[in-house]
Amino acid sequence: MNQQPHGAMRRKEREITDRAEIDAILGSSKVMYLGLADQDIPFVVPVFFAYDGTSIYFHSAGAGTKIEILKRNPKVCFVVSVDQGFIESDKACDFEAKHRTVIGFGSANFIEDNVEKILVLDRIVALFSDRHFEYPKSNLHQTTVIRIDVHSLKGKKHGY
């Protein structure tokens, strides 16, 4: 069983319970903040990503801090937030964040199959361009592609 720190939302009126709305947030953003843990040291990094309705995918160079941490601990947390802004108030302490946000937990899996890697890279590239690209074998070999199997999702919004 996967233990996630998702507890009951304190501000129920802000919780997004409609899975279609959560999926729309994940599908409308290009950047997610990926949270990793290396023993008792947290590490957060922004990455471009693609979401297929079930899993989240991102790519990386084959070496570096996030790859080394993921090899030791595949458990991840991620945040995607869209429509950010603020809600002004007459009182300084009453300003609030305007946003639609999804927080999720999952486990990272390294994709080794080149056919699957290309499908994922095409999905990510499609977020930025309508063009089709080829991936030279040397680039594919040096590119790490990761699938996050999502275990839980929670959405929150305010100002919408």
CATH number of the domain encompassing residue 129? 2.30.110.10
Prediction pTM value:
0.85
Residue 131 within a domain:
yes
Sheet strands (E) in the chain: 15-16, 31-38, 41-48, 50-51, 55-61, 75-87, 96-111, 143-158
**Residue 1 maps to a domain:** no
Residue 23 resides in a domain:
yes
7 lies in a domain?
no
Predicted local confidence at residue 16, as pLDDT: 84
Share of the chain above pLDDT 70, in %: 80
Identify whether 5 is part of a domain. Answer: no
Does 138 map to a domain? yes
Mean pLDDT over 98-113 rounds to 92
Count of structural domains within the chain: 1
Percent of the residues in the chain that have a pLDDT greater than 90, as a whole number: 67
In a domain, 59, yes or no: yes
Look-up of token digits 């279609």: 20
Model confidence at 29: pLDDT above 70: yes
C-alpha dist (Å) from residue 73 to 42, 43, 135: 12, 12, 29
Domain that holds residue 120: 12-158
pLDDT digits (tens, 9 = 90+) for 111-158: 999 999 999 999 999 999 999 999 999 889 899 999 999 999 999 886
